A = this chain, B = another copy of it.
Amino acid sequence: MLGAIEAGGTKFVCAVGDQNGKVADRIQIPTTIPGETIPKVIDFFKPYSMDAIGIGSFGPIDVNRESPTYGHIMSTPKPGWKDYPLVQTLKNAFGVPIGFHTDVNAAALGEATYGAAEGLDSCLYITVGTGIGAGAIVQGQLLQGHSHPEMGHILVKRHPEDPYQGRCPYHGDCLEGLAAGPAIEERWSEKGIHLADREEVWKLEGYYIAQALMQYILILSPKKIILGGGVMNQKQVFPHIYQYLEKFLKDYVPLPELSEYIVSPALGNDAGITGSLLLAHQALTEKSGR
């Protein structure tokens, strides 16, 4: 049996299933402190005969296998989780291979295998919610280099008529600081979900997301772009993204029809957990040398 953990800042989704993404059982556990959350995670998997576990985790995380802190959650402000050895703890509990990537890389893998980018060796998965993050498949592999990408914090040009200063504690008006859910709420003094019919809100959101997509396209040239996360449930933002992206790119690179190129996740909220099952399967096949 394969195990999957989508480790998020507000909840851990745990599931058991197979490499086809079929889930046999699942549970949600609130993310409080490790001493509370992790024993419940372990209890969930205990009854099953586990072969491997895949984790898609909130970050930043250490994904460098040569590093002494491989498998740790790094400098998060979440109490108790800074430097927490997530991979080692689960390895100790179950003694099985553990796959470990960012939550967004897991979602990218899920969508590239069974979702909107099925059959492609390249895609970009972006989530716009409480924060902004992105994972990518590049020539069939999860993108990773010196560390994992942090695409949510790229610089964007402020809209000349947007007086909002941004709220990223690190960068102020980076992409996440200007365009994640909390920024929308603070700028317009109302939650995004209550702003659905305010066109100016989604036009401005489209302005920032399109800028980010321009950078991602020019740098990575993905074969498909998938936009998930709570904010992207406001589908009225998509036409604004297409319009601004055309305006910014000026036909400089050949792209497919934008409405087919930049899409919603086909797996909905299950992209991450599906990808985590696939990470478990990868860890297992790596281990057995298959």
Contacts and interface: CB of A to CB of B under 8 A. Distances in A.
B250 A170 contact: yes
Contacts of A171: 248, 250, 252
A218 interface: yes
A211 B219 CA distance: 14
Q: Which of A122, A139, A146, A254 has the most CB of B within 10 A?
A: A146
A222 to B, nearest CB: 5
Interface in A121-158: 122, 138-139, 141, 143-151, 153-158
Give the secondary structure class of A's interface.
Answer: loop
Nearest to A156: B155
A147 B253 contact: yes
Interface residues of A, number: 41
A57 B141 CA distance: 26
Given A138-B138, A215-B215, A222 B144 contact: no
Among A216, A252, A256, the most chain B Cβ lie within 10 Å of the Cβ of A252
Given A155-B211, A171-B252, A219-B154, A143 B148 contact: no
Contacts of A221: 143-150
Contacts of A252: 150, 153, 170-171
A214 interface: yes
Contact of A220 (B139, B149, B156): B149
Contacts of A248: 155, 171
Contact of A219 (B151, B156, B223): B151
Interface string A168-198: 0011000000000000000000000000000
Given A138-B139, A171-B248, A252-B171, A153 B218 contact: yes
Contacts of A60: 253
A139 B136 CA distance: 13
Given A155-B211, A248-B155, A219 B253 contact: no
Contact of A147 (B150, B214, B216, B254): B254
B138 A122 contact: no
The 5 closest A-B pairs by CB, nearest first: A145-B221, A122-B145, A146-B223, A170-B250, A150-B218
